[in-house]
Amino acid sequence: MKEVMCIIRLNKVNKTKEALAEAGFPSITCRKVLGRGKKSIDKALVEAYIEAGDIPPSPYGENLSERGRLIPKRFITLMVKDDEVKNVVDTIISINSTGTPGDGKIFILPIEEVYRVRDGQAGEEVI
């Protein structure tokens, strides 16, 4: 079993949930998160915009006005069988890829055991 975790844009959550459900993965957990990528903002560009008093009215402009701003994203996690990981990853990428920075990240982790709380049953059948 594997845990598939992804961080995606806010405007892609509903399409991602629908696509995963259509692909046979309706069971997900979704959380609101804040974060930022590793790409740094060009300080010379920031200073030029600030000096001109012309911060662009866009998410990019908001990032310029607050250098360390954390961006709202959504964190989705789901448990799948080992042979289903590629299908889940392909589904997430097909919906969320715009070709620009900030599209998100996908992480895959091994799951050793899983138990259903209701009846104590264990194994892949409980996912």
Is residue 105 situated within a structural domain?
Answer: yes
- State how many domains the chain has: 1
Residue 29's alpha-carbon distances to 3, 52, 63, 78, in angstroms, are: 11, 44, 28, 6
Is residue 85 situated within a structural domain?
Answer: yes
**pLDDT at position 111:** 95
Is residue 101 situated within a structural domain?
Answer: yes
Q: How confident is the model at residue 104 (pLDDT cuts 50, 70, 90)?
A: very high
**pLDDT at position 78:** 96
Which pTM does this prediction carry?
Answer: 0.76
Is residue 33 situated within a structural domain?
Answer: yes
Q: What percent of the chain has pLDDT over 70?
A: 76
Is residue 46 situated within a structural domain?
Answer: no
CATH number at residue 17: 3.30.70.120
Q: Which of the 8 DSSP states describes residue 39?
A: P
Range of the domain at 31: 2-37+70-126
The phi and psi torsions of 112 (rounded to 5 degrees) equal -80, -40
Calculated CA dihedral for residues 88, 109, 126, 8, nearest 10 degrees:
-40
Is residue 112 situated within a structural domain?
Answer: yes
- Which residues are CB-neighbours of 83 under 8 A, at least 6 positions away? none
Is residue 61 situated within a structural domain?
Answer: no
Q: How confident is the model at residue 35 (pLDDT cuts 50, 70, 90)?
A: confident
pLDDT at 96 over 90: yes
* Per-residue pLDDT tens over the stretch 38-87: 766 656 655 665 566 555 555 555 555 555 677 889 999 999 999 999 99
Is residue 94 situated within a structural domain?
Answer: yes
